[in-house]
A and B are shown apart, each in its own frame.
Chain A
């Protein structure tokens, strides 16, 4: 223990014992006053002479004065204890002198000084008390008093015997026969008191230190919890096309669950939920590492399966404690609702569509962090406006209620089926149901929920340039596309690929939409996030070129139509080709990253 810790005063180190001592003083004083009063009213016969009466009164006044001093002080000044203890010791001394058999009154200050947990103070008190006890026979002598207990030892017979010849002999006699044995008892009690003071102090300091350490740990954990909360994503910008809501309740200050969502680019949202095995600090640290690995892989623009694979490899390389993570990752194309997702050993999320919640069940992949060569297979579904995804960790379904039953999947499924389409509302509903179910039972696992609600497909405000498409305007359309791409600093190789594809698409439109007779064509070009996008629209009859089968080279020789063959080139060269029918237009979108 260093002096710094020793200097810290534990609460009430002065106030509490001072209060006790003051109470003792007050009680003694009241008792003595009552005694005086009773003597006055002749209820008790004053066997001694008037000394007793007077000294009792003096004692009670001294005691009361000490109590009054205590009362007017703040109760914790350094001198208060000296005042109180002195009053008790003076009373003890007077008592011993007047009533010769009251030596043990000196035990009282000794017991009281234990309360101060101050060894030096206890030693001082015992020395003063001891000295006073030695002084007492001398004072008694001058007060003309003798210990009547020993009278019969001096005289021949018992009874009221007057002893003549007072002198040092009798003091010596009293010292040897009475004071010394009493001192032996007193010294033992003093030693005990000093030991109790000391060990009490040590215990309190030890307790204090433990409490301080615990407070430091608690503070660190609170900070850790704060940091962990800070790692959770905030709101992500959107234009009302979708909404995301999330809630995490940790069983301890820090937990092993986490969720994440981010805009992977302008049109894609990534959702992550994960649960680290284990609890507390180790799980929290592993969670942090898993989270940042997932984030950085997502930021690298990888597909979900590759994100999981890379994250798994990173975690396998730094997993001394043999922890693991179960995780679910989905990337949603906000324009089309298409979602690619990978489930690495996590609870399958629920898809709520039309008031019915169904699990997204696919053959599970291996958990993250334990098998470096694990492969992760992604699956795809298309979300429709109005759909809600509900991601959760097993803390939800394994929440234990008062009757030791678990919340369970089917209860959750039923609940979600009637929970509406509002991302925040669903979480609110499930949360309150779990709380109701669990009641007062302490939470044993982290509970995490994330909802994603798709309200409508995202529509980019595209600026179309309109042309009348025929063989004559073909070159103008192509140069418009090149110009728009060049002015947006699109790399030349990408421009060339887009030109090839545009050429195919224009040929297609001319042939199939307008039977080579020409017609209206709108072209929109946009670049963002290292991704080029060209949108073509025509007024032709509804026709989805993507539904054509991939052509076969040999077939083409016999059948000299171009059509779908060009589209197969487009599909191979572009990252994405999307057809939609909108407001009487055939809309074909091609996208290419760089």
Chain B
């Protein structure tokens, strides 16, 4: 999976292209775990993510946990399919999510 990575003013912005699932989630986990200590917040641009599986949800939870004592994480450009999974799994209440721009 192609994941664009950008660090600006202590914010890590990840732009994955493709679904975040059982196969692709570990790649993202790796990047997040590697960069987390050096950033204050994480933004995941979900514009290129058609759907997300529970493995992807775990990745997001993981990132949220890592940023818990810092400035947190944000999801943006979340499409409807992904949004419905987030809603179903109860993530909407705990995450900072920005809809499609």
Q: Which residues of A contact B (CB under 8 A)?
A: 471, 474-475, 496, 499-500, 503-504, 506-507, 510, 553, 556-557, 560, 562, 565-566, 568-569, 572-573
Contacts and interface: CB of A to CB of B under 8 A. Distances in A.
Given A474-B23, A553-B91, A572-B88, A562 B54 contact: yes
Interface string B71-101: 0000000000100010011110010000000
Contacts of A572: 88
A560 B50 CA distance: 23
Contact of A553 (B19, B51, B53, B94): B94
B60 to A, nearest CB: 10
B51 to A, nearest CB: 5
B50 A565 contact: no
B53 A496 contact: no
A215 to B, nearest CB: 68
Contact of B55 (A475, A507, A568, A573): A507
Given A510-B22, A553-B90, A562-B22, 5 more contacts: A500-B52, A504-B53, A553-B94, A566-B55, A572-B88
Given A556-B61, A560-B58, A496 B23 contact: no
A340 B52 CA distance: 34
Interface residues of B, number: 23
Nearest to A556: B61
Contact of A496 (B22, B65, B81): B81
Interface centre among A504, A506, A562, A568 (most CB of B within 10 A): A562
Nearest to A501: B53
A288 B23 CA distance: 58
Interface in B21-56: 21-23, 50-55
20 contacts: A474-B21, A474-B22, A500-B53, A500-B85, A503-B19, A504-B54, A507-B22, A507-B53, A553-B61, A553-B90, A556-B61, A562-B22, A565-B54, A565-B58, A565-B89, A566-B54, A566-B55, A568-B89, A569-B54, A569-B89
- Dominant SS at the A interface? helix
Which 7 residue pairs of A and B lie closest in terms of their CB atoms, listed nearest first?
A566-B54, A507-B22, A503-B53, A503-B21, A474-B23, A565-B54, A553-B90
A553 B54 contact: no
B62 interface: yes
Interface centre among B52, B53, B55, B89 (most CB of A within 10 A): B53
A500 B51 contact: yes
B13 to A, nearest CB: 23
A565 B54 CA distance: 7
A540 to B, nearest CB: 16
A474 B22 CA distance: 9
Nearest to A553: B90
Contacts of B65: 557
A507 B59 CA distance: 14
B57 interface: yes
A496 B50 contact: yes
A506 B53 CA distance: 11
Nearest to A497: B81
Contacts of A507: 21-22, 53-55
Nearest to B52: A500
Nearest to B81: A496
Contacts of B55: 503, 507, 562, 566
